[in-house]
Chains A and B, each alone.
Chain A
Amino acid sequence: MKIEKNVDGSNTTFALEGRLDTMTAPLLESEIQGKLDGVTDLEFDFAKLSYISSAGLRVLLSAQKIMNKQGKMVIKNVCAEIKEIFEVTGFSDILTVV
């Protein structure tokens, strides 16, 4: 798992590569918790993310809850397999996939 973070003023982008699972979700969580102060636009780029489990969904949910209070959050370049995971868990209604 690789996490690339790009900060441009109040815009922050996380580009994820590999697998967002039980092992790696805590890493992303630690990049998000308490570190989004002043961020109004949060973007996740999933172009190189091949896999997500419920541990990863939980991190996305907590990021979404933070951003609902202070701005917006979008996820782009989501592959069909991950989209299906979003759909069966109802996350496609919570998240903004572009």
Chain B
Amino acid sequence: MQNWVKEIVVDSKFENVRTLTEFVERSLEPLNPSPKAMMQIGVAIDELFSNVVRYSGSSNMKLILNVNADVLTAKLTFIDEGVEYDPLKKEDPDVSLSAEDREIGGLGIFLVKKIMDGVEYKRDGQKNILTVVKKLG
């Protein structure tokens, strides 16, 4: 199998989390990814795209999907032209606290770090570029 790249651009609107998820699921389906990997990629899309919609001020976002079919790995690159924001700088929440003491913030990006095999951020000119890598097996 060959390696390939697909991309999609959507408006920064919450409902497009579905558009992105369906795009990625449809694109990865021929590779027979594990249900767990697919679900976790879906969670990463939900967390990262909703962050862009909430905080970036960017009117749209591009998602680039790179697949390495030899090692069954997907790389998802989220690109927006909003205000500079590195979610990886956010401190991890204390997950040992009781319900009463748990804070609401920071959970999404923490979850992404835990369930993806790699997460990277870089600022390139006017762009926020966030990349996650996930093995599909």
Main secondary structure of the interface of A (DSSP, over half): helix
Main secondary structure of the interface of B (DSSP, over half): helix
User: Range of interface residues on chain A?
Assistant: 20 to 34
Rounded to whole Å, the gap between the CB of B79 and the closest CB of chain A is 19
Q: Is the CB of A88 within 8 A of B115?
A: yes
Contact partner of B111 (CB less than 8 A), chosen from A22, A53, A94, is: A53
Q: Which of A7-15, A30-38, A40-48, A57-65 contacts B (4 or more CB under 8 A)?
A: A57-65
Contacting residues, chain B, for A28 (C-beta < 8 A): none
- B54 — nearest CB in chain A belongs to which residue? A22
Q: Does B125 contact A (CB under 8 A)?
A: no
Number of B residues contacting the other chain (C-beta, 8 Å)? 28
Q: Does A21 contact B (CB under 8 A)?
A: yes
Contact partner of B36 (CB less than 8 A), chosen from A23, A53, A65, A84, is: A84
Interface positions, chain A 47-76, Cβ under 8 Å from B, are: 50-55, 57-58, 61, 64-65, 68
Binding site for A on B (CB under 8 A): 14-15, 17-18, 35-36, 39-40, 42-43, 46-47, 49-50, 95-100, 102, 104, 107-108, 110-111, 114-115
